[in-house]
A and B are shown apart, each in its own frame.
Chain A
Amino acid sequence: METNRTIPDAALVARCREGDGEAWGLLVERFSRYVYAICVRAFQLTQPDAEDVFQDVFAKVYGGLPKLRDDGAIRPWIAQLTRRACIDRLRADRGETPLDEVEPDGVDDRLAELDEALAVREALLALPEACREILDRFFARDESYRTIGEALDLPPGTIASRISRCLEKLKAAMEDPEAALRQVDG
């Protein structure tokens, strides 16, 4: 199984278009949290609505890949598909409500933040597995020091310092992505 670290978006899209099932899996994995976060964080959909939109979006992505003009523009395209699907879902629930009344306040700011979050997540992939896991468990999965300690077989007292060190590595990776990749690959 390939990892999702080094394949550029455009190359992944090209492979999906050729019917490469593994590439499709990597593409779904790469953008799944992003799509989900747009649904539940930006548009505050319920879980059942979010699930419908999530699956609809990936079905549209899969069906629309042959027509995508710029393979490198997959992220904004997915964002646009998701936004439109969320609006359609909210309007379906509330009747023919005007667009500006169904969109939650501050949705543009939230979407911009999710774009940044996706970039941070990509930078995270340049870190060693141990760092990726501890940062994801603590910040994204909201696990306690105790839960993390039990899962990773680490004394709870060391978790905070490890998180701090890994955050510093992430900061360095964002400031110099190529150096971070060399460190992991080397």
Chain B
Amino acid sequence: MIRVTTTDIEQLARLLGALPPVPAGWVEAAMELPLWGAGLDELVARAESDAAFRARLVADLESALAESGLNPTPRILAEARQRLSL
């Protein structure tokens, strides 16, 4: 629990301005983490058990992600590369 040390109007006004809005798209991207996290889990598991599928991922990760229903944003691509040790 945070204790606010003042209820002075000017101080409240200043504190209201201390948390600016987050740029468009950032919050939505963070909210989607569970969706693509689960998709990536499936993809990595399949790559570990299916050599042909892994070869396709290595050859063209972006297309393979899109075919698996994952939007291949730079962030998801980076995460996939790391998880797949590419």
Do A and B pair up? The answer is: yes
A93 within 8 A of B: no
Pick the contact of A120: B16, B20, B26, B34 (CB < 8 A): B16
A59 in contact with B33 (CB, 8 Å):
yes
Closest residue of B by beta carbon distance from A20: B34
A33 within 8 A of B: yes
B22 in contact with A54 (CB, 8 Å):
yes
Q: How far is the CB of B12 from chain A (nearest CB, A)?
A: 6
A116 in contact with B9 (CB, 8 Å):
no
A47 in contact with B23 (CB, 8 Å):
yes
Interface centre among A136, A139, A175 (most CB of B within 10 A): A139
For chain A, the bracket of interface size reads 35 or more
A117 in contact with B19 (CB, 8 Å):
yes
| Chain A residues in the interface with B (C-beta under 8 A) | 19, 21, 24-25, 28-29, 32-34, 36-37, 40-41, 47, 51, 54-55, 58-59, 62, 75, 113-121, 123-124, 135-136, 139-142, 167-168, 170-171, 174-175
| Chain B residues in the interface with A (C-beta under 8 A) | 2-5, 7, 9, 12-13, 15-23, 26-27, 29-31, 33-35, 37, 75, 79
